[in-house]
A and B are shown apart, each in its own frame.
Chain A
């Protein structure tokens, strides 16, 4: 069995519900707590297993916002496991889930350094590394109804952009989605063979835009101002870093 997630970048709206559900479930789960160091203060920094970032792909008028939830990819060739000196990091033979045995971790950070996806975060309070467990304490819980034996992030996603399943089964939902929608792995060139896959945004006809030529040519005073704003907006982020 090779368990993992498929995340549909076409339907994800970047609402962070998966991250919140993850934190809510896992903070009292087997690898909890997901400590917040200053929960009601100025800088409520803390541990999260799932982070959502938003990007702008391509330039106007072909630009598109893409939201990317990222958690542990449960890589087939997980370097976070091989670099770990204490044996705290391990990949389960039976289902491929990568876990941290918190009673063995010495908090050296080397696994977080080895991870290209930012999946591991050190809990400064307990001094051990924490990461996504694929809700290992949910998916095998026979006290739960069968349809709820899924990771909390998948259960909660309001747009159904997240799918959980077995990649070793060619007819599973996740395998079918990857096959039919050209699912891909992030940063494959590092060579870790991540199990989690992302479905690219679907091709859609270009949304009609009204070309306000007069305003954009910079003839009138307001036109000049608008052109400046438009240029500034289009240049935003270009050449930064």
Chain B
């Protein structure tokens, strides 16, 4: 699949924003951000919301006809993209009311409940984003429960690191959050390795089932088009095998290994500089991961263009 930068930026950045807001949403209950004043909590929440907004704006650049984007709320019953759009829009008033409650009233029961509700919405939206891809039976590399799991885990991981950096730069205690971030780094790296292994297994339709000639070899003689097609541009993207292995290694190193070393205290006490490097490294790593998520996906229409299998 063609890796569109607007969609990669959207899923990574908005994912990070939802991650920040999820952890802030549950922080009053779990004590992830102890001693954060209402002012500080609200500002950190607004940073998360800014990331979400930047991502959502970027997502509209992917549309060929964005003036009809407002129509994307009508098919809520069947379309995951519609569900994502509905939840993403409902999220704003909920999140702003919660942040306002936090700012004006501090740590009250209402704030805790609204925070939990916001956190729930964050996970629901991340799952919806993942399901847009996971629902497609035509792309076996996406048609797996690992896809939404991956979107949720990586969103939370980036959120935890960004929130950690914000706490550290305001000299607030962050030991609990760092423990959560450590757990997320390990689990999300593990999920990614399982995913790489899983998509390496041969499965799915072949050129034989695509054309109905299952008792003999089938080779493409003529693709039928003499110039570029929408399908070549959208689905024909292929990565070199060697480049792929390198990119997988780079992505895992940047999003998991380096942040793990930085926040586990191997290089000394975990301060704002270590966390800043961890945030930048993990963001770059997840960006490469999301690029690979698209580039490695092989649509079944390629079988008609001569691929023997997907």
B is a partner of A: yes
Determine which of A51, A55, A59, A81 lies in contact with B225 in the assembled complex, contact meaning CB atoms within 8 Å.
A51
Q: Are B300 and A237 in contact (CB under 8 A)?
A: no
Q: Are B218 and A113 in contact (CB under 8 A)?
A: no
Q: Are B79 and A83 in contact (CB under 8 A)?
A: yes
Which secondary structure characterizes the binding site on chain B? Answer: loop
Q: Are A83 and B81 in contact (CB under 8 A)?
A: yes
Task: Provide the A66-97 mask, 1 if CB < 8 A to any CB of B, else 0.
Answer: 10101000000001011111111000000000
- Taken together as a complex, chains A and B put the C-alpha atoms of A163 and B300 apart, in Å, by 26
Contacts of B26-71 to chain A: CB distance below 8 A: 62-69, 71
A226 → chain B closest CB, angstroms: 22
Q: Are B221 and A108 in contact (CB under 8 A)?
A: no
A31 → chain B closest CB, angstroms: 14
- Taken together as a complex, chains A and B put the C-alpha atoms of A159 and B75 apart, in Å, by 43
Task: Provide the B193-234 mask, 1 if CB < 8 A to any CB of A, else 0.
Answer: 000000000000100011111001111111111111111001
Q: Are B222 and A53 in contact (CB under 8 A)?
A: yes
Q: Is A134 an interface residue (CB 8 A)?
A: no
Q: Are B218 and A57 in contact (CB under 8 A)?
A: yes
Q: Are B222 and A66 in contact (CB under 8 A)?
A: no
Q: Are B304 and A53 in contact (CB under 8 A)?
A: yes
Chain B residues, CB < 8 A from A53: 220, 222-224, 304-305
Q: Are A45 and B228 in contact (CB under 8 A)?
A: yes
Point out which of B65, B74, B300, B308 has the most chain A C-beta atoms below 10 A from its C-beta.
B65
Chain B residues, CB < 8 A from A14: 222
When C-beta atoms are compared, the residue in chain A nearest to B80 turns out to be A83
Q: Are A86 and B64 in contact (CB under 8 A)?
A: no
Q: Is B135 an interface residue (CB 8 A)?
A: yes
Q: Are B227 and A45 in contact (CB under 8 A)?
A: yes
Determine which of B73, B136, B218 lies in contact with A56 in the assembled complex, contact meaning CB atoms within 8 Å.
B218
B90 → chain A closest CB, angstroms: 15
Pairs A–B under 8 Å by Cβ, sample size 11: A45-B227, A53-B223, A83-B135, A104-B71, A106-B65, A118-B231, A126-B65, A187-B300, A187-B303, A189-B205, A190-B300
> Nearest 8 CB-CB pairs, A to B?
A107-B64, A127-B65, A127-B64, A58-B216, A85-B82, A107-B65, A106-B68, A86-B71
